[in-house]
Structure 1
Amino acid sequence: MLDHGAPPRTPQTDPAAAGLGARLMRRKPVERLVDEGGRGEGGSLRRSLGLWQLTMISIGATLGTGIFVVLGEAVPKAGPAVTLSFVIAGLTALFSALSYAELAGSIPVAGSSYSYAYATMGELIAWVCGWCLVLEYGVSVAAVAVGWGEYLNELLDGTIGVTIPDALSAPPGDGGVFNLPALLVVLLAMAFLLGGARESARANTIMVAVKIVALLLFCAIGLKGFQSGNYEHFMPLGMAGVSAAGATLFFSYIGFDAASTAGEEAKNSQRDLPRAIMLSLVIVTALYVLVAAVAVGARPWKQFSDSEAALAGIMKDVTGQSFWATLLAAGAVIAIASVVLTVLYGQTRVLFAMSRDGLVPKVFSKVHPKSGTPRVNTVIVSLFCGVLAAAIPLGQLADATSIGTLFAFALVNIAVIVLRRTRPDMKRTFRVPLSPVLPVIGFGLCLWMMGSLSVITWIVFGVWMAVGLVFYFCYGMRRSRLAAPAAAEASETQK
């Protein structure tokens, strides 16, 4: 077991603490979190992932729809300075990434920010954080799966000249009856995950390599049409435009935290998790800036639109052939499939951790002895997300992914500060520099971006939180494993 030093015994960490307030604020000691990570009641996850696989998980969850879709939305706001917007958005994500890196190395367990909040801010806050992650990952899988179907149609049209009819490629309310491609890509991801963490990580690594090659291919071809004159007026809309585009582009970085959900499946989690998080963010930022620079150089910024196929259109303009655009569409299909795989993976691991703590039903923490994966959990989550993507028009609900993510990021920044105060002598393989200044900045940036989201997004978030709190007070609080020692002690006292 890891040597973290002796934890202080406080009313919040003492399971025998009485009173509703104490029960809501009870914290799970880091040592217990780590210890249970190696011997869960339903079985333990298998440690099989190295630094490379963990980095690919983070890149796989991040590098997808963002660069293929959002670039066309951001260029009209910032002009050629969109490259600077990508850097600003990356720096914004960096503040939270630093906090994730410290906590992932200090508390190397499944559950990501849910587990970090449990160790620092108490059970109720941990539940809220976990419930946000369920929203983030669940809606994200569904939304990305829908996007995959659109790119699949584009690929089929460019290769064999046919497309899937609207009735079978769009959900009710969006001109269809059932979105079959969206369901299929989720079921495909489920099949990989059921094979085991190492096997799904291997498949993800191949898909990530393909989409990186596709983006580098775009850069190589785009450079042939590069016109330096497109950069003559670098910041035509001023710094306000650069900032507005940066806020839009921030959501292209969501996903770097996926590696933190693999804390119990990493071979050397304390060393590799912080490295994987930071390395993935650097690689993704470099690719984003490179692709944006080439795209603006190859097409005047005023000619960009909200088209989902901005990159494919540029390749077609430069070469005069549709072949390269079709090839890029193939890369996009693979890119989005890897996002579905890695985000679905993160969803199952968060629910695994919550189930092991007793806050959700035990079925989510049962591990299959052969594959070392939570199979029932994976099937339930996959079917739910697949049906959500196929049968329900998401629309603005997709923005719920953003608000759930930002809320979790904000809590992680606070958790770093709390753990530094409560456990200053605990072993840390990575430390956020200039703490608490950088975590406070990260927290503030998350709140600022949450404030920029629409009213309907906040309403959806509020309803989701209300449902979660009802579930917690009716089920989770009473079945929490932290409550069991207290109940046993009270029973002994009455004898």
Structure 2
Amino acid sequence: MKNVRLQRSLTVFPLVIFGLAYMAPTTVFSTYGVVAQITEGMVPAAYIVALIGMLFTAYSYGKMVKAFPVSGSAYTYTQKAINSHVGFMVGWVILLDYLFLPMINGLLLGIYLHAYFPSVPFSVWLIGYIVLITIVNVIGVKIATKVNLLLISCQFFIILIFFILSIKGLVNGMGSGTLFMSSPFINGDIPFSYVLTGASVLCLSFLGFDSVTTFSEETIDPRKNLPKAIFLVALIGGALFILISYFLHLVYPQYHAFKDADSASLEIAKYIGGKLFESIFLGGYITGALASGLSSHASVSRLLYGMGRDGVLPKKVFGQIHAKYRTPAVNILIVSVFMLTAFFVDLVTASSFINFGALVAFTFVNLSVISHYFIREKLRKKFDFLLYLMIPLIGAGFSIWLWANLDKKALILGFSWFAIGFLILLSMTKLFSQSPPELSIDQIETSEMNI
């Protein structure tokens, strides 16, 4: 019986939709108040710095997906370009990112809806959310793309209303009373170190541009379409973050006057649009949780499939594709069960795991470009030194700098998870005397001709 494989059906547009949905454009509102106080009003400048750093890493993802157009993301790239043992550890660590993000979205959605409808228990919202995204993702990426398009459209609608209300208010003298102000970008009175500190927080808003790499085996012409999608997701997301944060500052420049920095955006929403827009704005948060949860849930199921197919995880469980829907249905169900940890894990703990895993992934994708192209392939002519050494080296350095600035709790939790994975690797390889199972790229590319 012929093995069932993932079906190629995705082009650049749905990939960008998945990436943007994973990032959730409305996430800019979540951190605005805190970062506004850290940077003393220079949030747009901090987003520019963060975007520049992320574009270096997006470049490296594009290069690696051309070399290895298979499902697995940073795990696959590190395994093939650097070392199978290192690849296993990277895959293990980034499971923190992929596993906890869908759970956090469910947790947030449950918290917001329970607060808005206190008579309905938190558990009802969480379980209903899990059931919904599980069904959509099992049915297939085509259905998920349509749902994501609807959800991402709702978020853009909220953002559009925000812009209209902001411009109307500014024209009528609200806030700064002007549409043009340079201080959010350039301010000699504010130390640049404040901007860098803000950027270290805001970079995590970009989580999602890399998620599209996990759809490599479901993408038409992945070597061409995936690099475009990766760069577009980072660029479009970054541009939105900069523009939105700029208008937030214009309409409410008194960043020290927030009653609660964590919910500053809700204060601004009520300030510019009254109670009605505050309610609509809250709906945008819920939409963002649904969209991001749907995409992140789909991504981690494919990461598990990549590791299961390689034999790093039990293949009979993780390396299977549903015969009818052509999706990793078992993995989708496993992730759904894991999401029930939202009943026991708080938001701060889960966020710490994500920060650690994401930055490790970014670092090693950049290093993989150097290892594969500059060292192994010996591409060192003309501009190769810039393309395959300097650019990824800058990306790696930026990621390491952010990683080093994580709080102690994130580092402790992250290294604890790393230690567990290292012990598993020792057992699997019999103290490194054997290599972890590796995927044959040639075999996969040949089999794809029959899909």
Same fold (TM over 0.5): yes
Structure 1: state its 5+ residue gaps.
Answer: 1-38, 170-178, 485-495
Gap change, CA 1:224 and 1:480, over 3 Å in 2:
same
Is it true that 1:329 corresponds to 2:290 in the alignment?
no
Match of 1:310 in 2: 264
Gap change, CA 1:425 and 1:243, over 3 Å in 2:
closer
Is it true that 1:472 corresponds to 2:416 in the alignment?
no
Task: Look up the equivalent residue of 2:129 and give its one-letter code.
Answer: V
Aligned residues of 2:26 and 2:155 also touching (Cα < 8 A): no
TM-score between the two structures when normalised by the length of structure 2: 0.87
Counting only pairs closer than 5 Å after superposition, residues 16-27 of structure 1 correspond to structure 2 as: none
2:12 aligned residue (44, 51, 58): 51
Gap change, CA 1:433 and 1:262, over 3 Å in 2:
farther
1:1-51 superposed Cα distances (whole Å, 9 cap, x missing partner): xxxxxxxxxxxxxxxxxxxxxxxxxxxxxxxxxxxxxx9x85211111111
Task: Look up the equivalent residue of 1:317 and give its one-letter code.
Answer: Y
Match of 1:488 in 2: none
Gap change, CA 1:483 and 1:46, over 3 Å in 2:
closer
Secondary structure of the 1:338 match is helix
Aligned residues of 2:102 and 2:297 also touching (Cα < 8 A): yes
Aligned residues of 1:397 and 1:460 also touching (Cα < 8 A): no
1:228-251 superposed Cα distances (whole Å, 9 cap, x missing partner): 368585535332222221111111
Task: Look up the equivalent residue of 1:298 and give its one-letter code.
Answer: V
Gap change, CA 1:389 and 1:212, over 3 Å in 2:
same
Task: Look up the equivalent residue of 2:230 and give its one-letter code.
Answer: I
**Aligned counterparts of 2:290 and 2:429: Cα–Cα separation in 1:** 33
Measure how far apart 1:254 and its partner are.
1.3
2:345 aligned residue (370, 385, 392): 392
Secondary structure of the 2:388 match is coil
Gap change, CA 1:460 and 1:483, over 3 Å in 2:
same
Is it true that 1:163 corresponds to 2:111 in the alignment?
no
Task: Look up the equivalent residue of 1:228 and give its one-letter code.
Answer: S
Measure how far apart 1:328 and its partner are.
1.4
Structure 2: state its 5+ residue gaps.
Answer: 441-451
1:114 aligned residue (75, 80, 101): 75
Is it true that 1:94 corresponds to 2:49 in the alignment?
no
Aligned residues of 1:358 and 1:476 also touching (Cα < 8 A): no
Secondary structure of the 1:44 match is coil
**Aligned counterparts of 1:377 and 1:42: Cα–Cα separation in 2:** 17
Identity of aligned residues (%): 25
**Aligned counterparts of 2:183 and 2:142: Cα–Cα separation in 1:** 49
Aligned residues of 1:65 and 1:144 also touching (Cα < 8 A): no
Task: Look up the equivalent residue of 1:293 and give its one-letter code.
Answer: Y
Is it true that 1:238 corresponds to 2:191 in the alignment?
yes
**Aligned counterparts of 2:378 and 2:182: Cα–Cα separation in 1:** 54
Task: Look up the equivalent residue of 1:52 and give its one-letter code.
Answer: F
Match of 2:449 in 1: none
Moved more, 141-150 or 202-211: 141-150
**Aligned counterparts of 1:257 and 1:415: Cα–Cα separation in 2:** 15
Match of 2:416 in 1: 463
Is it true that 1:69 corresponds to 2:13 in the alignment?
no
Counting only pairs closer than 5 Å after superposition, residues 149-228 of structure 1 correspond to structure 2 as: 149-153=110-114, 157=116, 162-164=117-119, 168-169=121-122, 179-226=123-170, 227-228=175-176
Aligned residues of 1:111 and 1:353 also touching (Cα < 8 A): yes
Is it true that 1:294 corresponds to 2:247 in the alignment?
yes
2:320 aligned residue (366, 372, 395): 366
TM-score between the two structures when normalised by the length of structure 1: 0.80
Secondary structure of the 2:118 match is coil
Measure how far apart 1:223 and its partner are.
1.8
1:99-149 superposed Cα distances (whole Å, 9 cap, x missing partner): 001111221110011111111112111111111121111122222221122
**Aligned counterparts of 2:3 and 2:436: Cα–Cα separation in 1:** 16
**Aligned counterparts of 1:145 and 1:68: Cα–Cα separation in 2:** 18
**Aligned counterparts of 2:346 and 2:176: Cα–Cα separation in 1:** 43
